[in-house]
Amino acid sequence: MNSFRAVITGTGVSLPKRILTNRELESMVDTDDEWIKTRTGIEERRLVEPDENVSDMAAEAGVLALKEAGIEVSDLHLIVLATSSPDMIMPSAACMTQAKLGATCPAFDVMAACSGFVFGLSVGAQYIESGSFKNVLVIGSDALTRHLDWEDRRTCVLFGDGAGAVVLTRSNGEHGVLASYLASDGRGADLLKIPAGGSASPGSEKTLARRDHCIKMNGHEVFKFAVRAIPDAVEKALTGAGLEPKDIDYLIPHQANRRIIDAAAERLDIDLTKVVVNIERYGNTSTASIPIALDELNREGRLREGDVLVFVGFGAGLTWGANVVRWGKGVAG
């Protein structure tokens, strides 16, 4: 039996230049800066440019992650792109990203809404642990602002655009992805959705009039679910790694609402100094929020060899999950 591990050897991000502040939103919809800040923690978010798409952001983040990993595009064996807002329904945004990167390896999308990066990382790690592939690029890229109803103040203040990527490389050491826990409950599918544009309800004048091409959300129920889902996923993933909450050096949760993060951290009895939060600058970037936060920690030089990181996501589906990672470049496998 082999004992390969998938280590994170590079991180990268792409953040659109256009910043939309809460103050600007005040002139667009019936909301106010104070409400958004106190109820969500968000102060501003990024918006894609008209000619910028999910695959553009994904490729840009990917290039940076490859650079840090010291890996050529030709050395990539797989691209896994987590997204809920692909450039088109078909083909996959992963294939578009592959072309933009100039890669030739297989590429596919993973759709698990805001849990997508956690699911995608687990998929990428499995290919490495099985010995199938050596270098895998895992990306979370979303432009959910393209699916917002800018007259619905309950949703349009929450989301932002961006991408984050990691390179996973085969290693024989103690570092890398130690365990993942993934969960889904399709009975909650109605709580958060974009009803039109799929095969059940293709785009039409009717769907446009009903704004069914936009995100519809039951905020209360999603909030309650998230506060339960985070501790559940973190505890189960840690158990899989033979660790406990006290062993965590950094908890990197999906950035959907500051209050959700605080409540979940309290349930887990984790000191808030160990919980990474950057929601004030980017809002909810869906699949990108965890790799963006990871990249910030990495670039700021805050990560130490051996640190235990836990990534935890939750979102539409419903889906939720966590990865436990021991930071460090490991030993080439």
Catalytic residues: 114, 254, 284
Write the single-letter amino acid at 81.
Answer: L
From residue 255 to residue 294, what is the string marking binding to ligand ACO with x (rule CB under 6 A)? -xx--------------------------x-x--------
Q: Is 83 left (phi over 0), alpha (psi -120 to 50) or beta?
A: beta
Q: Which of residues 54-93 bind ligand ACO (CB under 6 A)?
A: none
133 or 225: whose CB is closer to ligand ACO? 225
Site for ligand ACO (CB under 6 A): which residue of 153, 211, 281, 329?
153
Per CB under 6 A, 108 contacts ligand ACO: no
Total binding residues toward ligand ACO, as defined by CB under 6 A: 23
Three-state helix/strand/coil letters over the chain? CCCCEEEEEEEEEECCCEEEEHHHHHCCCCCCHHHHHHHHCCCEEEECCCCCCHHHHHHHHHHHHHHHHCCCHHHCCEEEEECCCCCCCCCCHHHHHHHHHCCCCCEEEECCHHHHHHHHHHHHHHHHHCCCCCEEEEEEEECHHHHCCCCCHHHHCCECCEEEEEEEEEECCCCEEEEEEEEECHHHHHHEECCCCCCCCCCCHHHHHCCCCCCEECHHHHHHHHHHHHHHHHHHHHHHCCCCHHHCCEEEECCCCHHHHHHHHHHHCCCHHHECCCHHHHCECHHHHHHHHHHHHHHCCCCCCCCEEEEEEEECCCEEEEEEEECCCCCEC
Q: Which of 35, 37, 100, 210 binds ligand ACO (CB under 6 A)?
A: 35
Q: Does 322 bind ligand ACO (CB under 6 A)?
A: no
Q: Using CB under 6 A, which of the segments 63-71, 149-157, 290-298, 320-328 binds ligand ACO?
A: 149-157
Write down the least CB distance from residue 327 to ligand ACO, Å: 26
Quick check: 20 binds ligand ACO (CB under 6 A)?
no
Chain positions 109 to 148 lying near ligand ACO, rule: CB under 6 A, are 113-114
CA atoms of 78 and 76, how far apart (whole Å): 6
Q: Which is nearer to ligand ACO, 117 or 133 (CB)?
A: 117
Q: Could you say whether residue 98 binds ligand ACO (CB under 6 A)?
A: no
Q: Which span sits near ligand ACO by CB under 6 A: 34-42, 46-54, 93-101, 165-173?
A: 34-42
Binder to ligand ACO among 14, 40, 53, 285 (CB under 6 A)? 40
- Minimum CB separation of residue 260 from ligand ACO in Å reads 6
Kindly state whether residue 230 participates in binding ligand ACO, applying the rule CB under 6 A. Answer: no
Binding ligand ACO by CB under 6 A: which of 106, 188, 195, 219? 219
Which residues would be at the binding site for ligand ACO (CB under 6 A)?
A: 31, 35-36, 39-40, 113-114, 153-154, 157, 192, 217, 219-220, 222-223, 226, 256-257, 284, 286, 315-316
